[in-house]
Chain A
Amino acid sequence: MFPTPIERKSRSYQMAYQGLLPMVLIMWLLPLIAVAVFSIRPDADFTNGNYWGIPSSFNFFENYGKVFFESDMPRYLLNSVLITVPTVLGTIALSAMTGFALGIYKFKGNLLIFFMFIAGNFVPFQILMVPVRDLTVNMNLYDTKTGLILFHIAFQTGFCTLFMRNFIRALPFPLIEAARVEGVREWQIFLYVVLPLMKPALAALAVLIFTFIWNDYFWAVVLTQGPDAQPVTAGITAFNSQYRAAYHLMSAGSIVAALPPVLMFFLMQKHFIAGLTLGAVK
């Protein structure tokens, strides 16, 4: 193990390390802690210039209540859910299929198609922006959730294909040969042999795509406009102009907007990290 395990060092060294950890963590998360503290302050603290002293009262319920009951926030949150969930399902369905095709079969153009998916994934969004926006407008899907979902599914399929294909590659191939010898149809192999083995990959991709899509801002601004379709990342700017300079409410609003992926991360940590660090280990 590197660096040298702390257990092998002197007692005082261990104590120093244990003491240093929380301090470094607090420094690391300082900007976030600042926002969390802002979000429970009463309005009066800001008018009195009491930004960093002890909050004069604990206004957690008032501030967050305002976010949930006196703004468009719940609508934006709902939009985010209605955009994110179908995208996750669609992407996973598509990429499980492409991953299966590219991971199991040997045919001409296999690597070429695989690399097309990877390359598309690295492209700057701006080169797609004008045509995608135009296409969405022409399909009468501008400012709808469907328009956003369709694009997201298509784009995320690139990354997910890379992931799925490499995962399927690592499965024991004799399993598939055995099934073929038994006369199992190819689509049945996909459904009954490969898919059940892919559960960890599906879980990892589901949490990753959930986070990516929830946090998307660029496409939300390009393809949607108002509270009917906009997800919370775009909605937060509208929220902030509604409560201009009311830092306690804006802070509470941002925390609410950031929370779902955070929860997802803490609940599904193992899968999340497995997905992100794909390929980091040989």
Chain B
Amino acid sequence: MSAPADTPVTSNRGWYRRNEIAITPWLFLIPGIVFFSIYVVMPIFQSFWISFHEWDGLGDKTYVGTAHYERLLGIGDQKMDRKFEVSFWNNIKWLVLYLLAIPMGLFIALFLNQTVRGIRLYKSLFFFPFVISQVVVGLVFSWFYLPREGLLNAILGFFNMGSLNILGDPTMATYGIIAAGLWPQTAYCMILYLTGLNAVDPEQVEAARLDGAKGHKMLWYVILPQLKPATFIAFVVTIIGALRSFDLISIMTNGGPFGSTRVLSFYMFEESLSEFGFRMGYGSAIATVLFFIMLGFIVYFLYSMWREEKEAR
């Protein structure tokens, strides 16, 4: 039905047809690259640029050099910005504690990896918190923690354990928010591990069982190595999730009490769009610091993925 490919027609065909295989990918890439460059790649550099300026978002930018970074980090004869310090340490708390979602998710996945009746529905319902928006999760938990009306204190009261005002106490508020964040994050890790467990090689498991492996030894030496891809993704999404935490803080405490629950992402937002005038330059400097913290992880993630790409070839 088609003409033989090696006829002299080739030279008569248009330029596009002759170079079709080389040109087509770029034609398909252009819209995506244009959008992505305008909204994601360029803004990163613009933010660096703005962070060296004083800017209210409307008028002219005034160049101030590294003054914002000096103020943030307390270089020279000034003290480190208190709010920045609190935010930074809260970010560290988020990073460390958020990782608990991974073992918790694994634990629930192991618990649910059975084939009893209705287990599919159970799995869906356990996963459920992840589908709800963080705004609603934040509201749900802030009501759960309410000192008078909240269920938590109703339960504590039932067991005569006194009452807590978690979100009102500067020493506990951040942990209360992280707990709320762990809820959907654990659900996500759980579903990753459930999928991973599904693909574990049954023959290896049986063989190991015949060799007398069981319980935590089996888990550690036979199962976990096979779950490595799932663990990697769980790690990536949890780290990114921890550093992106904004919604929950904004909804549950709005940074309070006494600024004790601020993290860098929230502090940046507060400075840039604050009620006392927009400090976009200072905000951008905070964002840049956050970006470089994240960059360490991003480089590691990309390196791992790149290595796999090379292996796959």
Contacts and interface: CB of A to CB of B under 8 A. Distances in A.
Nearest to A264: B131
A57 interface: no
A124 B294 contact: yes
A95 interface: yes
Interface residues of B, number: 106
A101 B229 CA distance: 26
A116 B41 contact: yes
A94 B43 contact: no
Interface of A: 1-7, 14, 17-18, 21, 24-25, 28-32, 34-35, 38, 46, 51-52, 94-95, 97-98, 100-102, 104-105, 107, 110-111, 113, 115-120, 122-135, 150-151, 153-155, 157-158, 161, 181-183, 185-187, 190, 211, 214-218, 221-222, 233, 236-237, 240, 247, 250-251, 254-255, 257-258, 261-262, 264-266, 269, 273, 276-277, 279-282
Given A28-B126, A217-B247, A98 B29 contact: yes
Contacts, number: 295
Contact of B40 (A35, A155, A215, A266): A155
B164 interface: no
Given A2-B205, A102-B25, A250-B139, 10 more contacts: A2-B110, A2-B219, A17-B114, A34-B144, A105-B24, A116-B36, A117-B32, A216-B133, A237-B251, A265-B128
Interface of B: 1-3, 5, 20-22, 24-26, 28-29, 31-33, 35-36, 38-44, 46-47, 50, 57, 110-111, 113-116, 122, 124-129, 131-136, 139-141, 143-144, 148-149, 151, 154, 183, 188, 191-192, 195-200, 202, 205, 214, 218-219, 222-223, 229-230, 233, 236, 240, 243-244, 246-247, 250-251, 264-265, 268-269, 272-273, 280, 283-284, 286-288, 290-291, 294, 297-298, 301-302, 305-306, 309
B25 A101 contact: yes
Contact of B188 (A135, A190, A257, A276): A276
A112 to B, nearest CB: 10
A206 to B, nearest CB: 15
Given A124-B243, A269-B124, A2 B31 contact: no
B139 A254 contact: yes
Given A25-B122, A130-B283, A261 B133 contact: yes
Given A130-B47, A132-B39, A135-B38, A118 B125 contact: no
Given A258-B132, A281-B230, A153 B35 contact: yes
B143 to A, nearest CB: 6
Given A123-B40, A280-B230, A97 B28 contact: yes
B50 A281 contact: no
